[in-house]
Structure 1
Amino acid sequence: MNILEFSFLSAVLTAMTPVVLAALGGLLCQVAGVFNIALEGQLLWGAFTAVVFSHLSGNAWIGVAGAVLATALYAAPLSVSSVTFRADPIVVAVGTNLLALGLTAFLMRQIFGSGGTYTSPGLAGLPTLAELGLDVPVLGPQSPVVPFALVLVAAVSWWLARTRSGLRLRGAGQHLDAAAALGLPVTAYRHGVVLAAGALCGLAGAQLALGNVTLFSEGMSAGRGWVAVVAVMLGGVRPYRVLLACLLFGAAEAVGFRLQGAGLPQQAADAAPYVITLLALVLAGVAARRRTKEAS
């Protein structure tokens, strides 16, 4: 298996993109001092609403826009509960994750008349770069969301490090009382990043349902939102480190698909990315403890 093949690199990018978009949302929340573990449910809701809007309109881009808006609105209860009323964000996030799982299954039967998986020849998927006249060999048959996600990582990194608003957001997360004493709108910043995280999860879900494939399946987020949470834990508040963590997941999934084609049982191939992600988290935790002991 040659990992330098364009087809393999394309598969890595396909698997990585929904995770890195959701992880960027989690990173922004982390920077602002909000621990957001609602990414799984928001990603699933984004995938569902993308298919619904694409199905109703016959246009994939309307599906993407609908998913971004609908998922930002879906994140509003988490924002209001955790920021305004200071409820435990973990409890609220777990509730929204469970709600997304049940609500998408219920609405799928109401809208499409069936459960399990919905797909249709008339369901509009995202066009590839080649179809838009922008064929890039290393990217393969990807949607424009894939290169946009990579550009977004660079843009967020620059914004947090080089702009006044980015530095203020970091200050609001690191020194809440001092930022409030200086008159910074800390509450507004936190509301903004939680809603922005929802929008990014909506885009991630749209890519998963209309870019990676063209269908919706119950529970199709399949733990990718949790992997995004792990990527934030591994990368901290540095977008490029978060990207590398997501790249690890994408590479593991791409390898799993190839091993499955070579005869590995499907269950083992499907579990490979999550096992590797968990192993990376454990190793990072061990390394952090060693650094703490050496410092003391």
Structure 2
Amino acid sequence: MISENLSFITDYFSSSISLAIPLAFAALGGLFAERSGVINIGLEGLLLTGAFVGAASSVLTENLAISILIAVVIGGCVGGVHAYLCVSLNVNQIVSGLAINLAASGLTAYGARLLFNTGTVALPKLPKLEIFGLKSIPVLGVIFQQDILCYLLLILIGLSTYIIFKTHWGLTLRAVGESAVAADATGISVVKVRYICVILSGILASLGGVYLALVHVGFFTEGMSAGKGFIAIAAIIFGRWHPVYTSLACFLFGTTEALQLRIQAFNLDIPYQFLVMLPYLIALFALVGIAGKSTPPAALGKAFNSQHR
């Protein structure tokens, strides 16, 4: 009985981690964009773009490393488009993000049918790595037998925290996000900082899509991001624009999604539509719970034109 319980908890913990990782990549990317003052509603489309490009590249090149690199480059380019629209042209940031979501949804669906003949295709999965043979540790051992993208995420969380709060560039980034006009008056290039952050946002979110296709699911299907980009935005707010707290929020949402999948497996007399809603309800309740307690960067969503200080 104890071994069965441990096996259940281990599987549940492992599933929670797998479901949280794409959220955390997207949320980390969105955090950089929002810290610079640019809202990136397009995280959903960037996840979908990363998943499709990673899947298509793995089929065409049969090389996972090259596939990840191509997905990252394309994700950065899509982020660059969002930066150009929002920073250079001062297009409404939410409208630009929604346009990216709609375009990504349509183009990836069309591309999947064109390339794979159907909406899905089986893909090679990234291999798991074992660290120091620690996988035998009950429950927590799953942490030490993950793929390279999981370990990369852990490094990025720590690195992002250090950069944002302990470096001069992080101070510059936070200054731009709090008051672009004041930052510009001190000689900081607001446009440059925002471009870098929004492009970085596209790169990180596309890595989440790659993980979704090549690790978590193992195939590409139309609309496979399934609202994860919007949950990532909720995690950023719930985590108060801090990399560590945001990642923990992603893990919370990952455990919730893993729970609803486990409940469905028990064949309880509960409509599955309600169970599918569970992660989104938790995200909604979390946002309601911190209403008025989480303060965004003051310049978030505000256009900046250096010619009109």
State the TM-score, normalizing by the size of structure 2.
Answer: 0.86
- Equivalence for 2:61: 57
Q: Is the 8 A contact 2:184 2:190 kept in 1?
A: yes
60, 66, 80: which one aligns with 2:84: 80
Task: Give structure 1 stretches of 5+ with no counterpart.
Answer: 290-296
- 1:126 paired with 2:131, answer no
Q: CA deviation at 1:59?
A: 1.7
Out of 213, 223, 235, which is 2:217 matched to? 213
Once the two structures are TM-superposed, the CA of residue 266 in structure 1 deviates from its matched residue by 3.8
Aligned residue number for residue 292 of structure 1: none
Question: Which shifted more, 269-278 or 171-180?
Answer: 269-278
Q: CA offset at residue 243 of structure 1?
A: 1.4
Partner secondary structure for residue 139 of structure 1: helix
Contact residue 61 and residue 126 of structure 1 kept, 8 A = no
Residue 151 of structure 1 deviates from its aligned partner by: 2.2
State whether structure 2 residue 263 is matched by structure 1 residue 281.
Answer: no
Gaps of 5+ in 2: 136-140, 296-309
Aligned equivalents of 1:232, 1:250: Cα separation in 2 = 14
Secondary structure of 1:138's partner? helix
Identity of aligned residues (%): 36
Query: Contact 2:164/2:171 (CA < 8 Å) preserved in 1?
Result: yes
Give the Cα–Cα distance (whole angstroms) in 1 for the partners of residues 129 and 13 of structure 2. 15
Selected match of 1:240 from 215, 239, 244 = 244
Instruction: Look up the equivalent residue of 1:124 and give its one-letter code.
Output: P
Distance 2:211 2:222 in 1: 16
Letter in 1 for 2:273: Q
CA distance in 2, matches of 1:288, 1:163: 23
Question: Where do 1:13-162 residues align within 5 Å?
Answer: 13-114=17-118, 116-119=119-122, 123-130=123-130, 136=135, 137-139=141-143, 142-162=146-166
Cα drift, residue 69 of structure 1: 0.8
**Partner residue, 1:294:** none
Q: Distance in 2 between matches of 1:212 and 1:55?
A: 17
The residue identity in structure 2 corresponding to 1:128 is K
Going from structure 1 to structure 2, the CA distance change for 1:4 and 1:111 (only over 3 Å counts) comes to: closer
Contact 2:46–2:205 (8 Å) recurs in 1: yes
Task: Write the deviation string for residues 202-247 of structure 1: whole angstroms up to 9, x where unpaired.
Answer: 1000000001021001000000000011111222221122112111
Match of 1:257?
261
Question: Retained in 2: the 8 A contact 1:129–1:141?
Answer: yes
Cα distance in 2 for partners of 1:77, 1:158 equals 28
Specify whether residues 112 and 4 from structure 1 end up closer, same or farther in structure 2 by C-alpha distance, changes over 3 A only: closer
Q: Is the 8 A contact 2:15 2:258 kept in 1?
A: yes
CA shift digits 1:90-132 (9 cap, x unpaired):
1111111000000011111221122x3222xxx32211114x9
**1:145-181 Cα deviation digits (max 9, x unpaired):** 1122122112111111111111111111112111111
Amino acid across the alignment from 2:285? L
3-state DSSP of counterpart to 1:142:
coil
CA distance in 1, matches of 2:23, 2:233: 9
- Distance, in Å, in 1 between the alignment partners of 2:7 and 2:180 is 45
Change (3 A) 1:3 1:147: farther
Structure-2 separation of matches of 1:3 and 1:170: 44
The CA distance in 2 between the partners of 1:253 and 1:109, in whole Å, is 28
8 Å CA contact retained: 1:7, 1:140: no
| Among 257, 277, 281, the residue aligned to 1:271 | 277
Aligned residue identity for 1:193: C
